[in-house]
Structure 1
């Protein structure tokens, strides 16, 4: 015989039916419920013999919450029906039974099923011990709350009965005044809320405008930063160029200062002597029987001498009379302004020393130009005292103290020693004149620099 299974209404745990000897079936809660679940058609159904709620308590409450099932006549576990006058709750068991299946039991089961389906009977399910205890605790708590509320209501009712009509009116007037004050405060708060809403909308509009302005300012800032970067790059390039120009200017100024301090004539025209011969720029001027000098070198020396006198005349601002000096290297000459033609300062050695040749005339004309220059510079107080004096008509140059030591500059009827000595005297005078010209040139450059510094005081 398959036992019927009951489920707890609250926790859905199965309840085990125990068969008592010589007595009814008892329903006991399993501590370890079985794994099988009740199939359809085997769920227990409680009859409506004694109606009570799902959480109702049984007439007798034991430690294991036993529920006695009383049957009529024969004890059976399936489909049995108890008499309606029984003191305990009765349940209808639905399901099939392999034995003790009588016609009466089948009819009772069919009737119970029809009553349940037609809502003529309230079906209730049993509870286990734990769920019953929990339910009782909840009901006790609810009962305590209800009793507390009842006591509170009773105290308020008693207090209301003790208040007089006058006091009630005064309390009503006070409450109405308080209500009016609260309504005014509510209206004021509502107005403040409306003002705040308007202010909030205004602030939101201002915030939106400020955000747009901030965005525009950020874009403008980015543009300005890009422009600043471009200008900064241009500034760096210009600073580099300025630094380069300043370096070039400093270098040019140092070169200018060096050039100003440089004696142009001493640097360009170097006059010395080599024994009895005079030397200008490494060219010997003159010759001796024991020192043969080629005419090409002598012509080149005359060309350097002519260039020196021409440069000195430019510095002194002197315009020669009767002759025009034309420096042209080893073919330099003088052009006569009185119709004598060109007087060369060069020779190839074919001229005759026994006749008055043009080479001698050219050297005599050069002494004439040198004498004019000496007369011009003697006007200056700082003019040096020349050791040799020139006699243009005789074409000789001699000692300035009239010691009688004079030498002709012409080759006509003259020895090589005397001619070379005259040329050496001439170069000695030119060397002193070069020193004077260098000093004058330096004084003139210093004066120009001082005038420039006075004109531009920022250069100081």
Structure 2
């Protein structure tokens, strides 16, 4: 709060006018407003103050403003290496003449400071030091300052009244011992509770630390388990793949086994002799495995086919004799050798070829005829053997001839001095006897028989 002298001087400051200087008597030095910087004219009352007013104004303020040591602040800034901008000390009007400050009238003539001017400047300096605002002020700025100070004063008085009312309320209240004791008990309870909570917090902190350690160990164990799990899944995938491959292989083996068993059953039901030696006829030719045995003037047969048919015939008789385990043939040894099969005469080891080449040479070559007669003799020995076992061949054979039961005619097996038709018919009857012998062997061995192609003589 401003002191009385300052407030009185502020009132005097409000008398300063900013109107221009026109009167000759007013041609005195003038100041500038420290707020709006307008030129102001000093009221004449400032020059007529008595000694008591000046003495009162020179008294120190009740709450003087602390003086700011600008030199100390500048030294500290220089020592710290900082640079201060905008730091300027307040202007003292009373000392302005030492800095070349002068008052200038309207004609621009320099006027030295008089004693009254020094006193006026000294009053303005005292007023500026005692408050927060620099002086002098014009009338308008002084009024604004007074309004602001009045508003602050009202706010301060209201606050003072509130504090005074609250203080009176506190002083009027009487202290209750029971209430104090209850508050002390409550304080003690809260302190105990705080202590308990602090102990619990300490326990929880220890448990948290332990739990974090356990968590870290569990995370490490989890990492190991995850790695083991990945390794397990890899091994599982590998074993699963191997298992699938083994299952596929097992199924393949089962399929092969079933196929083999089915083939075995087929083979068990198969007559190997009928499958190997198929005897049938084509036109008036007897055939074995599709090869015709015989010749005809109307349908000539190549000798390679005839020789092949004789080779199959020789092999069939050799297999039948071996199947019934009969004694070796007398007088001859049968040697199956494909298109070049032959018989060997046991008495002189003479070879009798069971194949021919055709042409005129065969008319004068009797070895082929002797071989066919020898083969028919071996077949007759086989017939005699199966006859002992209760089976008879359909066509009778004797000395190189075979008998037709329907006409009782005998047909020689030789080619010389014989017609091709007779020779072909004899060969056909011979194949029929072999087919019957084949049926006998299959019956004895329990093999299924296929008699759908029996020859009807």
Superposed pair shares fold, TM > 0.5: yes
Give the Cα–Cα distance (whole angstroms) in 2 for the partners of residues 270 and 415 of structure 1: 27
Partner-residue secondary structure (3-state), 2:434: helix
Deviation at 1:331, TM superposition (A): 1.5
Partner of 2:341: 332
Deviation at 1:303, TM superposition (A): 0.8
Among 169, 184, 187, the alignment partner of 1:176 is 184
Partner of 1:156: 170
**CA 1:239–1:360 in structure 2 vs 1: closer, same or farther (change >3 Å)?**
closer
For residues 299-329 of structure 1, what are the alpha-carbon distances to aligned partners after superposition, in whole Å with 9 as ceiling and x for unaligned? 3221121123344556x46455226532111
For residues 324-380 of structure 1, what are the alpha-carbon distances to aligned partners after superposition, in whole Å with 9 as ceiling and x for unaligned? 53211122124567776544423456476889964244223431454267459868x
Among 14, 23, 29, the alignment partner of 1:67 is 14
Partner of 1:305: 313
Deviation at 1:98, TM superposition (A): 3.4
Give the Cα–Cα distance (whole angstroms) in 2 for the partners of residues 110 and 313 of structure 1: 173
**CA 1:183–1:277 in structure 2 vs 1: closer, same or farther (change >3 Å)?**
closer
The answer on 1:367 being equivalent to 2:397 is no
Partner of 1:20: none
RCO greater where, 1 or 2, for CA within 8 Å and sep 6 or more? Answer: 2
Matches for 1:403-442 after TM superposition, within 5 Å? 404-410=408-414, 416-432=420-436
Give the Cα–Cα distance (whole angstroms) in 1 for the partners of residues 9 and 325 of structure 2: 156
Give the Cα–Cα distance (whole angstroms) in 2 for the partners of residues 288 and 157 of structure 1: 163
Give the Cα–Cα distance (whole angstroms) in 1 for the partners of residues 122 and 389 of structure 2: 163
**CA 1:78–1:143 in structure 2 vs 1: closer, same or farther (change >3 Å)?**
closer
TM-score, length-scaled by structure 2: 0.60
**CA 1:158–1:295 in structure 2 vs 1: closer, same or farther (change >3 Å)?**
closer
TM-score, length-scaled by structure 1: 0.59
Contact 2:104–2:111 (8 Å) recurs in 1: no
Partner-residue secondary structure (3-state), 1:125: coil
Partner of 2:197: 189
Give the Cα–Cα distance (whole angstroms) in 2 for the partners of residues 224 and 200 of structure 1: 34
Aligned pair count reads 373
Contact 1:324–1:336 (8 Å) recurs in 2: yes
Partner-residue secondary structure (3-state), 1:104: coil
Partner-residue secondary structure (3-state), 1:124: coil
For residues 242-269 of structure 1, what are the alpha-carbon distances to aligned partners after superposition, in whole Å with 9 as ceiling and x for unaligned? 6766776677677767777776555554
Query: Of Structure 1 and Structure 2, which has the larger fraction of its residues in helix?
Result: 2
**CA 1:353–1:341 in structure 2 vs 1: closer, same or farther (change >3 Å)?**
closer
Unaligned runs of 5+ in 1: 1-46, 61-65, 380-384, 446-460
Deviation at 1:198, TM superposition (A): 0.7
Partner of 1:77: 30
Deviation at 1:430, TM superposition (A): 3.1
Give the Cα–Cα distance (whole angstroms) in 2 for the partners of residues 389 and 424 of structure 1: 11
Give the Cα–Cα distance (whole angstroms) in 1 for the partners of residues 425 and 406 of structure 2: 16
Give the Cα–Cα distance (whole angstroms) in 1 for the partners of residues 302 and 159 of structure 2: 153
Deviation at 1:202, TM superposition (A): 1.3
Give the Cα–Cα distance (whole angstroms) in 2 for the partners of residues 262 and 57 of structure 1: 151
CA RMSD of aligned residues (A): 5.3
Partner-residue secondary structure (3-state), 2:411: strand
Partner of 1:346: 355
Give the Cα–Cα distance (whole angstroms) in 2 for the partners of residues 442 and 140 of structure 1: 144
Unaligned runs of 5+ in 2: 19-24, 33-41, 59-90, 135-140, 450-457
For residues 72-128 of structure 1, what are the alpha-carbon distances to aligned partners after superposition, in whole Å with 9 as ceiling and x for unaligned? 986643286935649xx99986765432653225995699589969x9943531678
Give the Cα–Cα distance (whole angstroms) in 2 for the partners of residues 295 and 227 of structure 1: 72
Give the Cα–Cα distance (whole angstroms) in 1 for the partners of residues 210 and 263 of structure 2: 75
Deviation at 1:129, TM superposition (A): 7.4
Contact 1:312–1:437 (8 Å) recurs in 2: yes
Deviation at 1:282, TM superposition (A): 4.2
The answer on 1:99 being equivalent to 2:105 is yes
For residues 4-32 of structure 1, what are the alpha-carbon distances to aligned partners after superposition, in whole Å with 9 as ceiling and x for unaligned? xxxxxxxxxxxxxxxxxxxxxxxxxxxxx
Matches for 1:58-457 after TM superposition, within 5 Å? 67-69=14-16, 76-78=29-31, 82=46, 85=53, 97-99=103-105, 101-104=110-113, 108=117, 121-122=129-130, 124-125=132-133, 140-141=154-155, 143-160=157-174, 163=175, 168=177, 170-228=178-236, 230=238, 265-266=273-274, 268-288=276-296, 293=301, 295-312=303-320, 316=323, 318=325, 320-322=327-329, 324-335=333-344, 342-348=351-357, 350=362, 358-368=370-380, 370-371=382-383, 374-375=386-387, 388-391=394-397, 394-398=399-403, 404-410=408-414, 416-432=420-436
